[in-house]
Structure 1
């Protein structure tokens, strides 16, 4: 099926007509293809850069039917590209060939060294084997691997030299590394090791933001998941772990704004259930003080560029979402997509 879609593109704010020809967008003013959608605002699909489809609880085994269901929930919300920074099992290759599922960039299995993750939930390895395992997971996935860099504030994080060796090994084979960091030392080690992304960043020292910007380490704060965790923690009596969690959370809005001001790439990732709720993370980025265009871009064109996926241009993948109004003027419209086109297929 070949058809045309016309509207104002974001972030360029140019009226454009695209011909959707299979899984490709073309700019062809002379095309006589059917005009499927005329008017509105065009985005290259939303992006969730930190989501874990296929499991719902740490006691779950990875389930392919559950994976399909979760990915369709993303799709129906206009999320047409996801990055899965770690899973209980490698995302199966058939996902890439399913025409009705979002595109997936996967980091393979979580890599957890002793005492630094939920028991038997990721790939448990020794610190000595971390670099080798990181390379294996990156080569077996979409080029990413995910390392659990720290866990409890009472335990030491992955040592800087061990983490640096793993990052260097993955970079040597053309891969990229996401690091879970939520303690001050764990975040420090992730940044100093040259990780490509810092997931969460709770207790991140603002003194590291300049280095993050210079070396291209992105920050994915996942406000959405921590919001519920912290609210439950506030109802409990004071103890060191609870107080550490709340203290870190209370500083995150200011840290994320400071990161954006310092030139760090800040992206939207939800981490948790329900799937397809990246608009909630956009709302949190707005609360942190990001300008609306930056907050929306963090879940769309900015995230795509960071992942190496083109936006709305000639020859790009045929993924786009149409909205009646400008989502940078009213981000609430992101919850009401008018048209969803994925891999050239009309979903809505």
Structure 2
């Protein structure tokens, strides 16, 4: 079936009439096209921080589970994911088959010795990290570094992260860095990494520098907030204090980042997959404007990951809603249609 959609395309709000010519949008009528959705159009949702493919932390890649979890993303209207860390090398169909989202990924994580989850990623000496990261980025486009881990652990030194950034950029790739402690976040920003993942406990004074140098923030806000009730019930400990303080302030940090001009990306980092709507809602509840939260999960994230929006020649992805989702976030749970690679993969009809 040849797909046609029409309506008010976000972010501009311009009325468009689009036809899928294979995997590209065109405004030229395509004979035999069927109108699958009309209303308000988003250029496909994005989950910029998700780790599908494993039964539990530390377990190897399961290709059948990977496809099942990717279908959960599609059901939520997600047409593009970024996986800054995967539990193994993905199968050739990952990000390519017509029934799964487009994908960007960093392959396995890179961490210091004694840090990160056993069975996942690769642990290396500091002097090995730049070359390993560059090799990974040359293959996939991204490298992911675990800058800090448990309370009391040393973070990756800023000079090492700077060397990683130089090596990866020379290879034509980008660097994502995990951080949930002040020292790791400060080192990542000082090193000029491309994206800071989580960023919990980040000094808000660093947001202006992130904005000016183009370091994005993927706060995974909904997942961190969801951990607060259990942390509040836990016995007093340094870990409890750290988490309550960091996660409790993370919403305000996320909203402040958006106001400071940092590119904020929506990412879930959670099970079940397909929870992008909860991340958008968490951003709005924290104080982000609905349009900014939707941008973080749609057109701004797509632009950051190299895909255009709802315009001729752009990849044929879209989610269609009855009403403007900027004014009614409940629309997110009930799309009229989801279009992926020019195919209608979900329809209310």
Q: TM-score, normalised by structure 1?
A: 0.96
Q: Which residue of 1 aligns with 2:112?
A: 113
Aligned partners of 1:38, 1:98: CA distance in 2, in Å? 23
CA deviation digits over 1:158-212, x for unaligned, max 9?
Answer: 0111111011100111100000011000000010011100000111001111110
Structure 1 residue 58 displacement after superposition: 1.2
Q: Which residue of 2 aligns with 1:264?
A: 262
2:238 equivalent to 1:236: no
Structure 1 residue 32 displacement after superposition: 4.7
Aligned partners of 1:112, 1:296: CA distance in 2, in Å? 32
Aligned partners of 2:162, 2:77: CA distance in 1, in Å? 37
> What is the Cα-based RMSD across aligned positions, in Å?
1.3
Aligned partners of 1:31, 1:343: CA distance in 2, in Å? 16
Structure 1 residue 140 displacement after superposition: 2.0
Partner of 2:94, secondary structure, is helix
2:9 equivalent to 1:41: no
Q: 1:69/1:3 Cα in 2 relative to 1: closer, same or farther (>3 Å)?
A: closer
2:53 equivalent to 1:66: no
> Superposed, which structure 2 residues align to 1:112-191 within 5 Å?
112-141=111-140, 143-191=141-189
8 Å CA contact retained: 1:296, 1:331: no
Q: Which residue of 2 aligns with 1:275?
A: 273
Q: Which residue of 1 aligns with 2:26?
A: 26
8 Å CA contact retained: 1:91, 1:106: no
8 Å CA contact retained: 2:20, 2:342: yes
> Superposed, which structure 2 residues align to 1:250-261 within 5 Å?
250-261=248-259
2:77 equivalent to 1:78: yes
8 Å CA contact retained: 1:19, 1:33: no
8 Å CA contact retained: 1:146, 1:179: yes
Q: Which residue of 1 aligns with 2:93?
A: 94
Structure 1 residue 38 displacement after superposition: 5.2
Q: Which runs of 5+ in 2 are unaligned?
A: none
CA deviation digits over 1:120-178, x for unaligned, max 9?
Answer: 2111222121011101111222x011100100121110011111101110011110000
8 Å CA contact retained: 2:108, 2:120: no
Q: Which residue of 2 aligns with 1:299?
A: 297
8 Å CA contact retained: 2:37, 2:320: no
Aligned partners of 1:38, 1:225: CA distance in 2, in Å? 32
8 Å CA contact retained: 2:89, 2:108: yes
Aligned partners of 2:94, 2:113: CA distance in 1, in Å? 31
Aligned partners of 1:256, 1:243: CA distance in 2, in Å? 20
Q: Which residue of 2 aligns with 1:203?
A: 201
2:9 equivalent to 1:9: yes
Partner of 1:185, secondary structure, is helix
> Superposed, which structure 2 residues align to 1:333-344 within 5 Å?
333-344=331-342
Aligned partners of 2:89, 2:190: CA distance in 1, in Å? 28
Q: Which residue of 2 aligns with 1:325?
A: 323
Q: Which runs of 5+ in 1 are unaligned?
A: none
Number of residue equivalences: 346
Structure 1 residue 90 displacement after superposition: 2.2
Aligned partners of 1:66, 1:140: CA distance in 2, in Å? 24
Q: TM-score, normalised by structure 2?
A: 0.96
- Is the deviation greater in 321-330 or in 113-122? 113-122
